[in-house]
A and B are shown apart, each in its own frame.
Chain A
Amino acid sequence: MLFEAYKDRVYSVAIYSLAGNEMAAADVTQQVFLKLMTRINQFRGDSDFATWLYRLVINACHDEYRKRRRFVSLADSFLRTPARGDSPRARYARKELCGRVQAAIGELKPKLRWPILLKYVEGMSYEEIAGLLGCSKGTVASRLNRAHKALGKKLSHLKDQV
Chain B
Amino acid sequence: MFSHHVTSLSSPYFHGELTAAEDHRVAEHLRICAACRGEYEVVKAGVRTASEIKVICAPESVWVQVASNLDGGQLPPARLWFLRPLAIAAVILLIAAVSLLLLRQHSADPKPRWNVARVGGLPRIDSVDIGESGKLGVGQWLETDASSRARIEVAAIGEVEIDPNSRVRLLETNSEEHRLELARGRLSARISAPPKLFFVNTPSGVAEDLGCAYTLEVDNDGNSILHVTLGWVSLQLTDRESSVPAGAACAMKPGFGPGTPYFEDASELFRAALLKFDFSGNPEDRKSALATVLSEARARDAMTLWYLLRRVDPCCRPAVYDRMAGLVSPPPDVTREGILNLDRPMLDRWKSRLSIRSDVPAKKIHSLWKKLWTETLGRIHGFEGKQ
Contact = CB atoms under 8 A, between A and B. Distances in A.
A43 B53 contact: no
A34 B75 contact: yes
A161 interface: no
A65 interface: no
**What bracket does the count of chain B residues touching chain A fall in?**
35 or more
B386 interface: no
A71 interface: no
Given A38-B75, A41-B375, A44-B93, A152 B42 contact: yes
A11 B63 CA distance: 11
A30 to B, nearest CB: 5
Interface residues of A, number: 61
Contacts, number: 182
A44 B97 contact: yes
Nearest to B382: A45
A37 to B, nearest CB: 6
A142 B8 CA distance: 6
Contacts of A41: 372, 375-376
Nearest to A144: B11
A26 B62 contact: yes
Interface in B55-89: 55-59, 61-63, 65-66, 69-70, 74-76, 79
Contact of B17 (A11, A102, A125, A150): A125
B369 A37 contact: yes
Nearest to A127: B17
B370 to A, nearest CB: 10
Contacts of B299: none
B60 to A, nearest CB: 10
Interface in B334-380: 362, 365-366, 368-369, 372-373, 375-377, 380
B76 to A, nearest CB: 5
Contacts of B52: 101
B38 to A, nearest CB: 11
Nearest to B56: A12
> Chain B at the A interface: mostly helix, strand, loop or mixed?
helix
A120 B53 contact: yes
A30 B62 contact: yes
A148 B47 contact: yes
Interface in A125-162: 125-126, 137, 141-142, 144-145, 147-156
Contacts of B97: 42, 44
Given A63-B79, A121-B53, A37 B372 contact: yes
Contacts of B209: 1
Given A41-B375, A44-B380, A7 B49 contact: no
A26 B100 contact: no
Chain A CB within 10 A, most for which of B17, B96, B231: B17
Contacts of A63: 79
11 contacts: A2-B194, A9-B55, A11-B62, A30-B66, A33-B365, A34-B69, A37-B365, A38-B76, A149-B39, A151-B50, A156-B45
Given A30-B69, A116-B50, 7 more contacts: A8-B55, A12-B56, A33-B66, A37-B365, A148-B46, A151-B46, A155-B48
Interface of B: 7-12, 15, 17, 39, 41-59, 61-63, 65-66, 69-70, 74-76, 79, 90, 93, 96-97, 100, 156, 158, 190-194, 209, 211-213, 230-231, 362, 365-366, 368-369, 372-373, 375-377, 380-381
Interface of A: 1-5, 7-12, 15-16, 26, 29-31, 33-35, 37-38, 40-46, 49, 63, 89, 93, 96, 100-102, 104-105, 116-117, 119-121, 125-126, 137, 141-142, 144-145, 147-156
